[in-house]
Amino acid sequence: MNKQIYPLLIAQFLSAFADNAILFTVIAMVMQSAQLPGWYVPALQSMFLVAFVVLAPWVGGFADNHPKSRVLIIANLMKAAGAGLLLCHVEPLIAYCVVGVGAAIYGPAKYGILPELAGHEFLVKANSWIEGSTISAILLGMIVGAKMADYSITWALAGTIVIFIASALTTIALPVRVPAHQTVSGSRIVAFQRQIATFFSTPRSRFAMLGGALFWAAAATLRVIIVAWAPLVLLSKNATEIAELTLFLAIGIIAGSALVPRLIPLEHLRRARIPAYLMAVFIIALSFADSIWPARFTLLFIGMMGGMFIVPINAAFQELGQHSIGSGSAVALQSFFQNIAMLLAVGGYTFAAAHHITPVIAMLILGLSVFCMTFLVSLHLPNAEEIATDIKLK
C-alpha cells in the first residue's frame, strides 16, 4: 500500500469528524428549540443533499482537471464557511446547504484520488481503510459533537471550524499530481449526460451505480427516522443519547468494512447483493425493537451488512471511472444518483412525518423497500466470469 495514503486517512478522519459533529450540533439546535417543527431535521438533510445533485455535472470535472489534493483543501474551507454561517446565526437551512456544497466538492476528490494512490490489487483494501477512518470519525464526531452541543452550541460550532481547517492543512502533505484527463470542452451538462449513458451501458457499472444509490438512500433515511424513533420508542431525551445509539450502527460499518476485502473482491462483485438483503431484514427487525439493547445489536448488524455492501461497490466504481471518464467524474456521477435517491427517500419520509406516519411504520416500510430494490438492482448482474473478463480488459 502506498504510504502517501496516510495523510489522506488523517485528513478524511478530521473532515468526517467535523461533518458529523456539525450534524449533531444542528440536531441539538432543533431539539433545544420549541419553535421548530418535527420535519425540520429531514428538511435540513434534504438541503445538504441538494448541493450534490445541482453541482454534480461540475464537481467531478473540477476534481479531475485540478490536483485532487488541492481540491480537498478548497472543499474543507467551504465546509468551515458553512459552520461559520451557523455560528453567525444565519438560517440553518441555508448555512447547512453551504456545508453541503463543500461536501459535494470534497467527495469526488477524496474517492477520485484513491486509484492514484492504490492500484487494482489494493483498491478494495484502500476503500476499506477510508471507510474505517470515516466511520471511526463518525463515532467520535457524533458523541463529541452531541455532548459539546448539549453543553454549548457556540463552542461546538467553533470546534468544527477549527477541525475543518486542520483537515485542510493535513491535505497539504498529499502529492500534487498533474491531471491525467483533459478538460472537457462544451457544455458540462451535455458531457454529464454522455457520462451517464456510458455508465448505464454495462451491467457491472449499472449495479455499482444503483447499488450505491440504494445504500445511501437507506442510510440517510434510517438516520433521520432514528431521530424521531428513539425518543418515541426508547425514550431518548437529547442529542447525546441518540448519538450513542447510532454509535452501534457505525461500529457495525467498521466491522463490515474490515471483513469485506477477503469476502467480496472485485472479481466477485455479485456477492455484494447478499449483505444488502440482510441489511433490509435487520432494518425490518429494528422496527419491532422496543428496548435499548435489542435496538443496539440490530443497528450493529445493519451497519455490518451495510459496510460489506458499499465498500466493493465504491471500489468497482472508482476502477471503472479511472479507465473511462476519470475517477473524480465517476465519483461525482455516483454522488449524483446517490443524492437524488437520498433526496427522494428523505423527502418521502419528510412528507410522511408531516402527515403523522409513525417512525415505527416508516422504518418497516424502509426495510421492505430496501429488500425489493435490492432484488430489482441485482436482476441483471453479470456472472463472475464476465466480471473477471471485464477487469482483465481494463
Q: Residue 305: which of 331, 334, 281 has the closest Cα?
A: 281
Report pTM. 0.69
- Arithmetic mean of pLDDT, 52-75: 82
* 8 Å CB contact between 79 and 99: yes
pLDDT digits (tens, 9 = 90+) for 325-344: 666 667 777 778 888 888 88
Residue 182 inside a domain? The answer is: no
pLDDT per position as a tens digit, 250-283: 788 888 877 877 777 766 777 888 999 999 999 9
- CA 196 to CA 79: how far, in whole Å? 28
pLDDT > 70 fraction of the chain, expressed in percent and rounded: 86
Asked whether residue 122 is assigned to any structural domain, the reply reads: yes
Q: Is 10 exposed, middle or buried (0-12, 13-18, 19+ CB in 10 A)?
A: middle
Phi, psi torsion values for 276, nearest 5 degrees: -65, -45
Q: What is the pLDDT of residue 381?
A: 64
- Please measure the distance between the N-terminal and C-terminal CA atoms of the chain and give it in whole angstroms: 21
Average pLDDT, integer, range 107-133: 72
The amino acid sitting at 151 is Y
Binned at pLDDT 50, 70 and 90, residue 184 comes out as low
- Domain count for the chain: 1
What is the band of 1 on the pLDDT scale with cuts at 50, 70, 90? low
The answer to whether residue 310 sits within a structural domain is yes
In a domain, 203, yes or no: yes
The answer to the question of residue 181 being in a domain is no
CA distance 104 to 164: 15
Residue 180 located in a structural domain: no
178 pLDDT exceeds 90? no
Structural domain that includes position 313: 5-174+187-393
User: Does 94 score more than 60 pLDDT?
Assistant: yes
Of all residues in the chain, what percent carry a pLDDT higher than 90? 20
Domain assignment present for 48: yes
pLDDT in tens, 21-41: 898 888 888 777 766 666 677
pLDDT reported for residue 391? 47
Average pLDDT over the chain, rounded to an integer: 81
More confident residue, 108 or 329: 108
What is the model's pLDDT at position 393?
Answer: 45
Least confident span in 127-141, 181-195, 311-325, 335-349: 181-195
pLDDT at 364 over 50: yes
Provide the pLDDT confidence category of residue 132 given band limits of 50, 70 and 90.
Answer: confident
In a domain, 319, yes or no: yes
CATH number at residue 298: 1.20.1250.20
Q: What's the rounded mean pLDDT across residues 62-88?
A: 89
Question: Which residue is listed with cell 470519525?
Answer: 137
Sign of the dihedral through C-alpha 258, 263, 265, 270: negative
Whether the per-residue pLDDT at 353 is higher than 70: the answer is: yes
What is the residue whose three cell numbers read 453479470?
A: 382
pLDDT at 387 over 70: no
Q: Are 161 and 84 in contact (CB under 8 A)?
A: yes
Q: Which of 44, 92, 28 is nearest to 239 (CA)?
A: 28
Q: Averaged over 101-118, what is the pLDDT?
A: 80
